């Protein structure tokens, strides 16, 4: 790195997405400067969910021990009507394409403190508290942020090759760039309450669902796990929708909090950790990049919580951006590769928000007659189903001669528990991090042209075999994840991007050659 830059990457903000981003970049060898205007890590829980994809990401990024420590498999997610008749049940533990539970519940403060500890121990990450960004600018070579010390008032400029604004929904970085936001049309106030249960007390003891939505038009209510604190205390979360006749000020009064909790739990059954009212909205920044400056997390998008995807979406942002920055900083790709960030992330997160809004429209139904019609649809088996979870639809993906994306490009690739060299572990632990991988079925005759292209592009070749017959140097498909994914689709090879999404896939040798030729063409266009 030229001496004229203080850092390779500057990050403004220090929430969970920024912490993860700093560790992702540090693991790839880059020097990161993080600037946070407050003086400490925010100590209270906000997010409570992390899905299978991001659980996999954390393991692949060297944070597997943290994920194991702060995550718990999600119970079945159930929706009930006002009479406690079950409208819907989603078995999140049934499995996922990543090989584990579809959803995990997480104690966010423990997650953040664990990452904070690693960041403070790193010699590649410089963390600055009481450091408020007051101006940003950029030129052809660098991005500069002016930082004001909130205690002394002193200011100083810091420079980096790139800058990421991960500074929340009221992002200074976004506002400084003049980037507007598109409102997708959802807005509702909810009171969020976190409660630590007395030792040994369970949801069953309380007579409440482990994880559910009480879609009662009188008071739509969410009841979910809140994760487990470091000392073993189990948290529960209640979320109560504010009704039209109630004010925001009324909702946050402690007597109101206990009035709402009274039907569910009593003061002597634990400790009220916090309560706050949130306005759930659906906003997407009009662009996620301006030259050398990027937006991620809530700075780029905010969404209703009904899919538990707020923090997950932010982690996807920085996971997507991190490997691209790595290639560009190493000179293995040109800056145009970074221009795929917005086309990949913005449509994906917009689709996630729309699904969350759809779920919210079903849950947040205060009109009794509309709720009755909803109940009839669900109980009669005629309920509308939400769209499947989004895939990538643009960016660095295989395309045909007309430029259209070729399925299954854009899908999340499979993973799971495998066996290799006498050891059993997660698939990603046996694959070199940060690069492209060609996964081929045992017995597939890999064309020499494919070997040459992979060698020239630094693509790692991995052979997957049945766990009972895997030879030395092959990965045994212990869970059958790859078999189900590939054999059921007639696929012989997958070209997997560093963020685990498929660039493309092939059914035979000629298709593989064509797919790799397109991969080479697209990568060369970014050089």
Query: How do strand 103-106 and strand 71-73 relate by DSSP bridges?
Result: antiparallel
pLDDT at 31 over 80: yes
Give the torsion sign (CA, 138, 139, 143, 145): negative
Residue percentage of the chain with pLDDT more than 70: 99
In this structure, the number of other CB atoms found within 10 A of the CB of residue 384 comes to 10
Give CATH for domain 417-525.
3.40.30.120
Residue partners of 394: CB distance under 8 A and separation at least 6:
340, 343, 344, 347, 405
What pLDDT sits at residue 386?
77
| Gap between the Cα atoms of 27 and 43, Å rounded | 26
Tokens of 421: 């060299």
The 10s digit of each residue's pLDDT in 92-120 is 888 899 988 999 999 888 999 999 999 99
Tokens of 359: 């779920």
**Multiple choice CATH, 7-73+103-181+284-357, 3.90.1150.10, 3.30.465.10, 3.40.50.720, 3.50.50.60:** 3.50.50.60
- What one-character DSSP code corresponds to residue 25? H
Q: Is 298 exposed, middle or buried (0-12, 13-18, 19+ CB in 10 A)?
A: buried
Mean residue pLDDT of the chain comes to 94
Tokens of 82: 């006002």
Long-range contacts of 447-450 (CB under 8 A, 24+ apart): 447/509, 447/512, 447/513, 449/513, 449/516, 450/493, 450/509, 450/512, 450/513, 450/516
The 10s digit of each residue's pLDDT in 303-326 is 999 889 999 999 999 999 999 999
Torsion of CA 153, 156, 158, 164, to 10 degrees: 30
What pLDDT sits at residue 3?
60
What pLDDT sits at residue 73?
84
| Gap between the Cα atoms of 214 and 239, Å rounded | 10
The more confident residue out of 23 and 93 is: 23
The 10s digit of each residue's pLDDT in 226-269 is 888 878 888 899 999 999 999 999 999 999 999 999 999 999 99
pLDDT band at 45 (very low <50, low <70, confident <90, very high): low
pLDDT at 44 over 70: no
The 10s digit of each residue's pLDDT in 473-505 is 999 999 999 999 998 899 999 999 999 999 999
What pLDDT sits at residue 233?
86
pTM, two decimals, is: 0.96
Q: What are the residue ranges spanned by the domains of the chain?
A: 7-73+103-181+284-357, 417-525
Max Cα–Cα distance, the chain, nearest Å: 73
The 10s digit of each residue's pLDDT in 262-281 is 999 999 999 999 999 999 99
Domains 7-73+103-181+284-357 and 417-525 share a fold: no
Element (H, E) at 328: helix 310-329
């Amino acid at each position: 790195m030229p001496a004229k830059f203080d850092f390779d990457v500057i990050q403004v903000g220090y929430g969970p997405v920024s912490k993860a981003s700093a560790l992702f970049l540090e693991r790839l060898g880059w020097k990161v400067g993080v600037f946070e205007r407050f003086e400490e890590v925010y100590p209270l829980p906000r997010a409570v969910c992390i899905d299978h994809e991001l659980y996999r990401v954390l393991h692949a990024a060297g944070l597997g021990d943290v994920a194991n420590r702060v995550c718990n498999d999600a119970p079945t997610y159930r929706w009930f009507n006002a009479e406690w008749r079950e409208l819907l049940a989603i078995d999140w533990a049934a499995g996922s394409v990543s090989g584990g539970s579809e959803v995990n519940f997480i104690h966010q403060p423990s997650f953040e403190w664990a990452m904070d500890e690693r960041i403070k121990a790193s010699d590649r990450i410089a963390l600055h508290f009481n450091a408020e960004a007051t101006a940003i600018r950029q030129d052809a070579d660098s991005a500069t942020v002016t930082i004001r010390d909130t205690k002394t008032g002193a200011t100083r400029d810091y420079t980096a090759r790139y800058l990421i604004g991960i500074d929340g929904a009221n992002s200074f970085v976004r506002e400084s760039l003049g980037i507007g936001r598109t409102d997708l049309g959802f807005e509702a106030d909810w009171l969020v309450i976190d409660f630590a249960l007395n030792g040994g007390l369970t949801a069953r003891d309380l007579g409440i669902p482990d994880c559910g939505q009480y879609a009662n038009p009188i008071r739509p209510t969410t009841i979910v796990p809140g994760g487990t604190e470091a000392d073993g205390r189990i948290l529960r979360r209640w979320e109560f929708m504010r009704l039209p006749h109630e004010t925001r000020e009324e909702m946050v009064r402690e007597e109101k909090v206990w009035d709402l909790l009274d039907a569910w739990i009593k003061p002597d059954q634990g400790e009220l950790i916090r309560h706050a009212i949130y306005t759930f909205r659906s906003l997407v920044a009009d662009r996620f990049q301006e030259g050398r400056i990027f937006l991620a997390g809530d700075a780029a998008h905010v969404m209703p919580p009904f899919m538990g995807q707020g923090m997950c979406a932010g982690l996807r942002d920085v996971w997507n951006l991190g490997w691209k920055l790595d290639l560009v900083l190493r000179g293995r790709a040109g800056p145009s590769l970074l221009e795929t960030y917005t086309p990949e992330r913005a449509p994906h997160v917009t689709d996630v928000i729309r699904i969350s809004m759809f779920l919210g429209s079903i849950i947040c139904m205060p009109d009794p007659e509309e709720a009755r019609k909803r109940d009839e649809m669900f109980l009669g088996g005629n309920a509308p189903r939400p769209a499947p979870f989004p895939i990538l639809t643009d960016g660095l993906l295989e395309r045909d001669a007309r430029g259209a994306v070729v399925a299954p490009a854009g899908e999340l690739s499979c993973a799971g528990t495998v066996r290799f060299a006498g050891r059993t572990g997660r698939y990603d632990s046996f694959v070199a991090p940060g690069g492209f991988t060609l996964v081929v079925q045992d017995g597939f005759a890999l064309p020499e042209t494919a070997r040459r292209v992979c060698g020239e592009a630094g693509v790692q070749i991995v052979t997957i075999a049945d766990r009972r017959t895997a030879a030395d140097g092959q990965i045994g498909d212990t869970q059958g994840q790859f078999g189900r994914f590939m054999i059921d689709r007639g696929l012989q090879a997958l070209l997997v991007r560093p963020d685990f999404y498929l660039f493309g896939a092939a059914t035979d040798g000629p298709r593989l050659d064509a797919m790799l030729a397109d991969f080479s063409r697209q990568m060369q266009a970014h050089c």
